[in-house]
Amino acid sequence: MADDRIFLFHITGADKPGILAQVMQTMSDWQITVRDVEQITSLGHLSLSLLVELKNGDPVRLYRDLKKTINSLGLVLDLDLPDEIESEPSKHWALTLLSREFHAQDIREIASALSSKNINIRRMTFQRSGDVHCIEMKLDIPVNIDSSELKQSLYAVAFENHFDVALQKENLFRRAKRLIVMDMDSTLIKQEVIDEIADFAGVKKQVAEITERAMRGEIDFTTALAERVALLKGLPVSDLEKVKARLQLTDGVKELISFLKKMGFKTAVISGGFTPFTDHFRELLQLDYSFANTLEVKDGKLTGRTTGDIVDRERKAVLLKQLAEKENISLDQTVAVGDGANDLAMLEAAGLGVAFNAKPTVKKASKAFISQPGLDAILFLLGYTLQDRRQVLDN
């Protein structure tokens, strides 16, 4: 049932300082309660919406007074009489899209997928960082919509149109993350360390064959790790330093870590690789923690075995949870990033699990995925703007 004392005013036109002050000055002459307000300025164009309740007075005179003020400012005033006013907050979500470029078809497909489920786009913004374009949509999602089904339908559109997507609850936890854990191989760095060691040791082909068997599901991670490490028996430990020189950080890693550390994040690398390399990158990037498998050494050479706990899929998730507990951080406030099936348990346990340049099966199982070359694209998923980045990194 419409309330004839409640009005929704829309004010649009060229933006300039003082508009809100003058509009409120006109309204202050009336007994008005502001129920809701939203202002957006894009490319110099203002869109101001005011939901107000008129306690006493003639609504026709109110409209005329406001219309006179708006006309003097060179703006346009529209009036709506809402049929229904929400008494409870909407169910809000954030949909983030990333791509090298967006085409009209991309937006059409996403918009169609949303409208088919009666989902309204409340706000949409655009940003660009280098070659990466970001469109963020704030959504009002009906309570009866299954978010997991919605995610899969949006993922299907993203796969078909070759862009990245993340669907998250738009709440305090999104921008209040405090811990990030990352895989090392093909995530923190561009290479797979075991392949680089094997190449140096002259057993790259044999190691690749074992890796392929593991990917086909013929052997598990622990077995594959043991077989590959066995091939490295006799390699001088000093040669690992030469392997380190081959390794390259993934684009955007330094900016990402620098920004997050200034924002108070705890940072960690959790890898199924080896400690000489995770320790190296922990020191290089000044990370807080590093975990990986330990290569056994005797007389300055690798024995072809590992010692201690194996960092497999389950162990990665356990380490994430232990770090969160140690730092007194809720799992909702954690981020995990990885590229392989070995990372899935960790990605699932985190508040935000991001598949980075991963296989389709890993993308589908993750809460978000990125196929961009730069790891700093994660900052878009966390809700940080380019202005946020400049402000933090310049200080």
**Which residues are marked as active site?**
183, 185
Tallying the residues shown for the chain, one arrives at 395
DSSP secondary structure string for all residues of 239-256: HHHHHHTT--BPTTHHHH
- Residue 383 CB-density burial (10 A; 0-12 exposed, 13-18 middle, 19+ buried): middle
Beta strands in 287-339 (DSSP E): 289-298, 301-307, 334-338
- Residue 324 CB-density burial (10 A; 0-12 exposed, 13-18 middle, 19+ buried): buried
Helix (H) or strand (E) holding 196: helix 193-201
Question: Which residues 6+ apart lie within 8 Å of 179 measured at CB?
Answer: 265, 266, 267, 268, 323, 324, 327, 329, 333, 334, 335
Tell me, what amino acid is at 308? G
Are the C-beta atoms of residues 372 and 98 closer than 8 Å to each other? yes
Compute how many other C-beta atoms are within 10 angstroms of the C-beta atom of residue 16: 11
